[in-house]
Chains A and B, each alone.
Chain A
């Protein structure tokens, strides 16, 4: 995995978003991660949460590699007994979101400027103290990276961001 200092993956050109439907159990999640570590594939981000049916979970994995590697990843994932489907959303229209919590230094003079920036990104201030602001932002990876880039000059203390979660679009034009 190529990660810059802010936890931003520098790989974008051959980035793939895989949506994997599995039986809801931790052995399945471990096996999936094991495929990546055991075979030297990359995980740029991974998120795991329940699906509509409670015995299933949807795992969204973002990864990168050439066509042959992505094909192997898809096939190897599909080989896992608990895996129901593997969809490479990269070949579909899909919506994708990440969530980031960012704690930034905010002095009396910079606070309103930071809040204006947050407004532009439709981010929410969720904690405030005399010297700090904690901000919640959702969006695709580029938007979050851009937001982090805008806040960087003010002095970022901590970042906590989720992996990407994604769903296939139903028809063109939906939000």
Chain B
């Protein structure tokens, strides 16, 4: 994959500031770039415009930071998000003022809901014009206040460096999240002292990292005495890099583990303790275990409504332990007996040190029965490809080693169910906001962060069309993302709900008539396009696609449109009232 590069500079690099001693006086744009390098930013997803031209002028000669020219700012934010999820580092976005900023809103909200570290730089009109409805002015700080962890409007260039350092500190520490920094044009043009000062301290911001020792002991005691324990692991296990601690504890104590959508990959699904995903489209055995367990340890999970189903039917017999770095997540939806505020990684290993192995023989017998009698089903294909089979095949071809990035809908749930995830940071999906259009740009972002890993974007014909224009970026930078379109010519999950709950009235959910020829679409951008309508063709194009390493590949998989995603907990039902699907 080609790393993005600006044209080699003919003239002398005027941004000599890069390695200048601490006493340098620089303009705001140079301070920004120097500080970004200081905090180890190597990639920026951006789009130029009037308000940020001084920054782009400085970027012209910059070789340590790769600037990726995305084609739409929403995709830029999703790409930064994908980069962050795949690498664990903050994703960085740079856009112009007004519409550039507002276009990032969906991407910022997506990152906020899933606690993804991201720093967004927006241009702003000069300070003396703020509030005058100047050209391309938008109150982006106001607009993004509810969807950022924190945001800043820089009003004094001498604060710029401090603000940028704080922004990265806030975005990546505690419960991570997006931070926006609004940069008025005069702030990036005027000069200030650049200190290179590395230390950041915000007196009002001190996340609790160590779990309270009494609570930890209580939790360990409860687990040791449990007859039917269960670990319910969420995205916090991945964000908090706690997968090794989780795996060690679950194996040593032989406790079953179910993960949320965001937690997929946080516990290897090849391990016997894995029950797969729980919740609305979770496995039968995960949901039954959640309902029947006597001690439920929630680790970095937030009892989201897609997980719990009807709250009064959620795990009614269990005592609950909840580990979360964000105290406001604890007790928000479900009352818990043992709340533990802290880093999942620290707390899990502390509990593991104190807990002894509970007797779970009977519990495992019950679970094995559920597993045997209610497995996930992959129906046989009759002509068109079965969606479940498509995912299973991708899992086989990539040997479970790919970074899988999905859009939102049926394909997302099937990918969660049928791909075998054994590694963290390998399933990237908009869990909280459920953003269609997320998949492809996020996959591209992941590719920039992890150029050596195979990246598969599993998307739908609906979701892909929301950000398909990014094929231009992927072609320009030779990003070899494999885009697998589960093409059922409709908004599959909407159609499924209309079939089940709206008397088969498929109101505005059928895309058939307007869909493009995805092969030609890909080719027109200079990407590779393939189509498969049956299992044989599927195997053939998957094999060909995996060999292509210098451009994106679009695979149009024609799947059975009437297939519905099961098992399913209808909304408003309890987890154990799940529907396993027609026989």
Contact = CB atoms under 8 A, between A and B. Distances in A.
Contact of B146 (A34, A79, A81, A84): A34
Interface string A1-40: 0000000000000000000001100010011001000100
B331 interface: yes
Interface in B320-354: 326-328, 330-332
B402 interface: no
A71 B339 CA distance: 13
A81 B150 contact: yes
A76 interface: yes
A34 B145 CA distance: 8
A78 B141 CA distance: 20
Contacts of B153: 27
B220 to A, nearest CB: 25
A23 B152 CA distance: 13
B142 interface: yes
Contacts of B327: 75, 78-79
Nearest to A82: B204
A68 interface: yes
Contacts of B142: 30
Contact of B202 (A72, A78, A79, A81): A81
A89 interface: no
B170 interface: yes
A167 to B, nearest CB: 20
Interface in B134-166: 141-142, 145-146, 149-153
B141 A27 contact: yes
B203 A81 contact: no
Contacts of B203: 84
A144 interface: no
Nearest to B166: A81
Given A81-B204, A81-B205, A83-B204, A31 B145 contact: yes
Contacts of B146: 34, 38
Contacts of B332: 72
Contacts, number: 38
Taking each of A22, A27, A68, which has the highest tally of chain B beta carbons within 10 Å of its own beta carbon? A27
A68 B204 contact: no
Given A34-B146, A81-B149, A81-B150, A23 B204 contact: yes
Interface in B354-378: none
Nearest to A23: B204
Interface in A119-160: none
Nearest to A85: B204
Contacts of A81: 149-150, 170, 202, 204-205
Nearest to B341: A75
A88 B141 CA distance: 29
Given A75-B328, A79-B326, A84 B204 contact: yes
Contacts of A79: 326-328
A36 B331 CA distance: 18
Contact of A27 (B145, B202, B328): B145
B90 to A, nearest CB: 16
Interface of B: 141-142, 145-146, 149-153, 170, 202-205, 326-328, 330-332
Given A72-B331, A78-B327, 13 more contacts: A22-B204, A27-B152, A27-B153, A31-B145, A34-B146, A71-B331, A72-B328, A76-B328, A79-B326, A81-B150, A81-B170, A81-B205, A84-B204
Q: Which A-B residue pairs are the 4 nearest by beta carbons?
A: A75-B328, A84-B204, A81-B150, A75-B327
24 contacts: A23-B204, A27-B141, A27-B145, A27-B151, A27-B153, A30-B142, A34-B145, A34-B146, A38-B146, A72-B328, A72-B332, A75-B327, A75-B328, A76-B328, A78-B327, A78-B328, A79-B327, A79-B328, A81-B170, A81-B205, A82-B150, A82-B204, A83-B204, A84-B203
